[in-house]
Amino acid sequence: MDLAADDSTAGTVAAGTVATGSVATDNLAPRIMAMSRTEAVMAEIRRRLAGRALTAGEKLPSIRRFAREMRVSPSTVVEAYDRLAAEGLIRSRAGSGFFVAGGVPPVALADAGPRLDRAIDPLWVSRQSLDAPPDMLRPGCGWLPADWMPGPAIRRAIRALARADDRVLTEYGGTRGSPALRQLLARQCATEGLDVGTDQILLTASGTQAIDLLCRFLLNPGDTVLVDDPCYFNFQTVLRASRAKIVSVPYTPAGPDMARFMEALATHRPRLYITNSALHNPTGATLSPQTAHRLLTAAAAHDLTIVEDEIFADFEPEPSPRLAGLEGLNRVIRIGSFSKTLSASIRCGYIVARADWIEGLLDLQVATGFGGPSPVAAELVLGTLGDGSYRKHLAALRGRLARRRREMLDALEGLGFTAWTLPRGGFYLWCHLPEGRDAAELARAALAERVVLAPGNAFSVMQSAGDLMRFNVAQMNPDVLRVLGRALR
Amino acid sequence: MDLAADDSTAGTVAAGTVATGSVATDNLAPRIMAMSRTEAVMAEIRRRLAGRALTAGEKLPSIRRFAREMRVSPSTVVEAYDRLAAEGLIRSRAGSGFFVAGGVPPVALADAGPRLDRAIDPLWVSRQSLDAPPDMLRPGCGWLPADWMPGPAIRRAIRALARADDRVLTEYGGTRGSPALRQLLARQCATEGLDVGTDQILLTASGTQAIDLLCRFLLNPGDTVLVDDPCYFNFQTVLRASRAKIVSVPYTPAGPDMARFMEALATHRPRLYITNSALHNPTGATLSPQTAHRLLTAAAAHDLTIVEDEIFADFEPEPSPRLAGLEGLNRVIRIGSFSKTLSASIRCGYIVARADWIEGLLDLQVATGFGGPSPVAAELVLGTLGDGSYRKHLAALRGRLARRRREMLDALEGLGFTAWTLPRGGFYLWCHLPEGRDAAELARAALAERVVLAPGNAFSVMQSAGDLMRFNVAQMNPDVLRVLGRALR
């Protein structure tokens, strides 16, 4: 354990920018320098295609102009364009320059930005975890093993569903989602001192979809959004899908580094900040009351909206201060889901926000999904949450995780890892690697032995977490530890 | 019945444009003229806010420039800006003009465009149908009553789910969705002569979400998309959410009016065309083989991608020609869902497309939803489709609907309606009102008697269907007919 290392790690990262639609600066520079100039020009064009800044049939920047912009010679741009044309991405028209090839849609999200090491490409980590065959070990994934979940309560809820009214089983249901489930969520909010009506709650198809809906509702393409560094890796991809500009602020064990946060507010005038207050992903840290207060004061002064992702909240031993609870949903939006403690197969998320915002979100959800979660999924969530055993399941889960965190921390320390902080709950341990070791390299070595890890830079916009790794303690076992040991030897 | 009227109706509408980000032309003009000049300027600013062409903190066009653009006097713009400021939507800064007020997100989708009559606002029709209390009658809705659906098979699938493996009940599942369900869909495609691998199929959270995903994947903001006039009303809202420019082409009983279609291709260079080939919504018409062939030839010549929404396909007595079947998924994408024939509560849609596009869509779906449908929903769909009774259910449904269409057509003709065409299947009848009557007015009158109708202009980008109404025959009954009769008297 080396808690002193926290601040110094956080301190080495400056608030930096990844722009989706323009030439990126600081953080990409080292990677661009490692490529040839031609490759850098090609990467930039690919990035514009991926970010939809250039689209099928559109003319590419002139060779002269782009050479100036990229600070390379015109012949470098000619070479880059020729190679992209050979790949079929662009084509030249005699006398009128280069154009984006048609028919084929812009390159996929995964190609946004210069090609990353796959081990630290956020989308690749998600897909790898989700699509790993059952025999692979997944200490890098973001969910509990099936036998940690409330199986018997879920089965009871399913059997009850088989007896439900035909309408429940076959109709779309209302646009806001199950009134009973929204009432239950409103009561949960009330226990945390957050008084909300059911008209302030919208059920969504998933927690991620809740964030996506909010981004589409609140952001214009090119708007700036603040995230933590490190943060949940999918925040980066969902924001990219909304063509947002992402600015990250170093995260400390008490919340975001407020000096850097204020700097970022002044410099970048962000529209939105997305964070986890309770059991932050990947660090497991919890926002301190002081930081929460400073955050809200700064948000009010800079007209900043905050999305508070509560997805790990039920793992806390007792509730920590929440931005929504302190501020009361004027500029804070709470989102969450049931994927971590109930089931990730019964998908259902929610948004708690101002009633007028919920109205607008509702329209957007009808337009883009003709409603939220499967009504049958909402029924199963309601049935399981309402099952007498669910509270006991949560209490047992917390205890089991506390023991597992301790055991795994000991084991990881034995291998030379040190915890960045000691989480109060949840299933993550965010750990420094032994001195001089690289997380992406370790992830690659482990993958060769059929173990999926989550290396630090998958969570870092600034790529500042190359010596950190997120472990899911519930998915660890002696085999994982042996693979780690071998790979580090 | 008045089939001769079809062409003349279709013929009165020119292919026209609704632009989300610029001053709209033809189709809005009459409505703008009915407003005062000040109101028209205010409406235009509201529209830009709704379409996110103007965003929080942004400067509004200067008074002089906007007066020129809107062809009004500067004092009219001053008055409009002052009134918008009084509403709190914008604010003036001394010496530097007017700015969009911050903090509050842009107005909702429903406000895009000058305030429409609510009865013909596409979003409002959706929300009204979905949120109508159980005692209201809904001949305007787009689904079958609960007792027309395969309840017993669904209940059997639910009981089987209660015995499924813990992993099925609690884990996220793979990113492409249930392999077994994708295999079943691939076999269905094969029976129509469309050979696809399971890597060409992606399960999504719903049919609408499939369209939304495709729009986000294929379109840049401002890209032009062709739709039919009339078309499913939610195509308009989902395209608006992607900030697309919508151009509509008159639809005939054999498919789109090809002369107008070719004109629109040449004039607007659209990126995408979205349509239903089988049992077109709302008309119930079916694409003719000749039109299908001409369409595909034109699409190839103009590098147009086509989304073929197959949501009503299972209602056809025998399969009609499909664009995907004819063309083979080079530039055609098939989408569908199980909401109409199986359950709208067990939500699951799918996309069938080129494997390389599926890869990109997969990334986008992980980024924006961390996967597709609830895996439990996919299991229930699979279980119900695989139930021995499902084919019989479909056959019985087709017979029952054929009888109901005939009965309701007789009843509606008795009230003075005439069918625009005679659908080969499905539950819609698209009918002309008795001479001189207005559909929006009739919808309003019916709503006062707790009957939700779907007036023609909700389906028409050009607002050319003011004398047409879509009836869902399965949701009709003597009470509905009585209300219609009273309202028309």
So where are chain A's domains? 36-111, 118-148+391-488, 151-385
Mean pLDDT for the stretch of residues B218-246 = 93
Q: Which amino acid type is present at position B401?
A: L
Read off the tokens for B255.
């498919």
Q: Looking at residue B112, what is its pLDDT?
A: 38
- Mean pLDDT score across all residues of chain B: 86
pLDDT of residue B176: 93
**Predicted confidence (pLDDT) at residue B16 exceeds the cutoff of 80:** no
Per-residue model confidence as pLDDT tens for chain A (489 residues)? 333 333 333 322 233 333 333 222 223 222 333 357 887 788 788 777 765 567 767 788 888 888 888 888 888 898 888 888 877 778 887 677 888 875 433 334 444 333 345 666 778 788 888 988 888 999 999 999 999 999 999 999 999 999 999 999 999 999 999 999 999 999 999 988 899 999 999 999 999 999 999 999 999 888 999 999 999 999 999 999 988 999 999 999 999 999 999 999 999 999 999 999 999 999 999 999 999 999 999 999 999 999 999 999 999 998 888 999 999 999 999 999 999 999 999 999 999 999 999 989 999 999 999 999 999 999 999 999 999 899 999 999 999 999 999 999 999 999 999 999 999 999 999 999 999 999 999 999 999 899 999 999 999 999 999 999 999 999 999 999 999 999 998
Amino acid A82: pLDDT: 85
Distance to chain B for A14, nearest Cα, Å: 26
Answer whether residue B8 shows pLDDT above 70: no
Contact residues for A131 (Cβ-Cβ < 8 A; gap 6+): B174, B175, B176
B100 at interface of A, judged by CB pairs closer than 8 A = no
Query: Is there a contact between B56 and B102 (Cβ–Cβ < 8 Å)?
Result: yes
Reduced to 3 states (helix: H, G, I; strand: E, B; else coil), residue B278 is: coil
pLDDT at residue A50 in the model:
63
Whether the complex's predicted ipTM surpasses the cut of 0.85: no
CA torsion sign for B166, B169, B173, B177 is: positive
B417 has pLDDT over 50: yes
From residue B127, give the alpha-carbon distance in Å to each of B48, B121, B314: 23, 10, 26
Chain A residues 160-179 with a CB less than 8 Å from chain B: 161-162, 165-176
Locate the chain B residue with the closest alpha carbon to A222: B55
> Which CATH class name applies to B36-109?
mainly alpha
Band (B118; pLDDT cuts 50, 70, 90): low
Cβ of B172 and A374 within 8 Å? no
Spatial CB neighbours of B357, under 8 Å, sequence gap ≥ 6: A105, B217, B333
Is the domain covering B151-385 a CATH 3.40.640.10 domain? yes
B174 bridge partner residues: none
Q: Residue B264 has what pLDDT?
A: 97
Q: Provide the residue type at A39 as one letter.
A: E
pLDDT at residue A118, as a whole number: 61
Answer yes or no: do B108 and A173 touch at CB < 8 A: no
**Are B103 and A269 a contacting pair at CB < 8 A?**
no
pLDDT of residue A291: 97
CATH 1.10.10.10: does it fit domain A36-111?
yes
Quick check: B54 and B48 in contact, CB under 8 A?
yes
3-class DSSP state for residue B312?
coil
Cis bond before residue A321 (omega within 30° of 0): no
pLDDT at B14 (0 to 100)? 31
- A103 has a chain B CB within 8 A of its CB: yes
pLDDT of residue B89: 77
**Among chain A residues, CA nearest to B151:** A166
List the single range of B201-205, B356-360, B474-478 with lowest mean pLDDT: B356-360
With CB atoms and an 8 Å threshold, state whether A366 touches B55. no
Backbone angles phi, psi at A270, to 5 degrees: -70, 155
**Segment B294-343, tens digit of pLDDT:** 999 999 999 999 999 999 999 999 888 899 999 999 999 999 999 999 99
Residue A295's pLDDT is 97
Specify the CATH number for A118-148+391-488; select among 3.90.1150.10, 3.30.470.20, 1.10.8.100, 3.30.70.260: 3.90.1150.10
Which residue from B minimizes the CA distance to A48? B220
Give φ, ψ of B262 to 5 degrees: -65, -40
Q: Are strands B305-309 and B272-275 parallel, antiparallel or unpaired?
A: parallel
